[in-house]
Structure 1
């Protein structure tokens, strides 16, 4: 009960925050990691890419990170800039599996930076993985200094995303690639504030109006930043429903029940109870992999 009251207090504080960067940071401080990652093996924070038969968000989360790496065209000698990296699980996977030379991570949430930095030290990767506080619209890197810029389910927060595109273009070397896994509406006619279900409250409260547009506008903004051949491809059919099924079933998972407080289990069950409304609103949302190149 006490943790529920603390969570409620963090929600109220977040909603009352006017500064967009601080608001996003506080948004990611609402949920206790003990609840968010109970009975899990990773700290991926994305909705996942759900292949047939996949039932674990840890597997789906890494699959989405793999999709983004494929889209970005990672090569072993690349310097990668990951903007809005969460707890950094994808960065360690890319260092391990793609053998990229270096990963820089930028994030507005101190909790995330501290966790990823400590993991890099613990795993002996501090020379290849650097994580620091910073914002997507003022990247602390010189012009033409990285090969790939990626944002794994984070760019919808950036205020505005078009300024991030301009910054990504600036720091990329000629021939470099920007790739994002991102959340947008299927149609510009969908009112962002009409989304009302609890699990999708982030749409209403942490996506700015400037970022609420469809695939066509997304590609136009990439081109306006100087990128060539922008491609914005929907993977909606492999994201939202798998994520919804996993989250809705989680309160009934004995492993989750054993690790999370009873009040948290009850709260999650209540959060996901309106299946019809959640499915209706998810049908309004797109999920895209966007790729663009600096000439």
Structure 2
């Protein structure tokens, strides 16, 4: 919702200018501001073992640990799929495009976009026999193991800021319903969060039945530890094609006809750059947007011939 605050400020500021111009002479639309809020799919990101070691200096995983593909996430949290963008569009040749059924514009974007997250897990089991059981029917001997399990997790997480440039093509400008598409290219920048966690658990294994009571006391476990690491800025790239349908709040009112509410969907490819590796994924986003179109402002201190 923060993205709507600057839009509202510009909207209120421009009312007095635009209404004065309208009362003198109708002018071509010159530029537009838009605030969008919605959701976006996360970006994929991956690291080699050397990459994980670089992210967590001073913390090495011993060779006795094995990769655990089904590890428990100690940093579990809801994924941040929020998408907020503020856009400023310069309408190309506004006077020449007045009255036509199409319009081209160049757009600058700034906002907050996709999240990228990666985790890796390691485990080491230390099993010892704590009891021996015999079957009264078959005489088979069963061993009961106490497993002191040590686990490690490393996590990398980043929420990117987006700075982008786009070229838009609109159909039916100035009409109640308008369709817009084009191509947008965003640079992704963000400060990642890098963490590691170590913890222990004790598991009694290979028990026939749930009534087993071990006479061996459970060992004292080391407390879990979490460490945060400093990380450099991360870069990425997002290339997307927008599909935007909007409608004006009025057909004839000089003020409300320049306010448009819209729904947009964006489809493209996202890239995350890490040392020695580039990760890419399909990107999808949607948003509700509010747009206000400004007429050209009259420039002060000009002669009548210049105006």
What band does the TM-score fall into relative to the shorter chain?
under 0.3
TM-score scaled by structure 1? Answer: 0.21
Larger Rg: 1 or 2? 2
Q: Which has the higher helix share?
A: 1
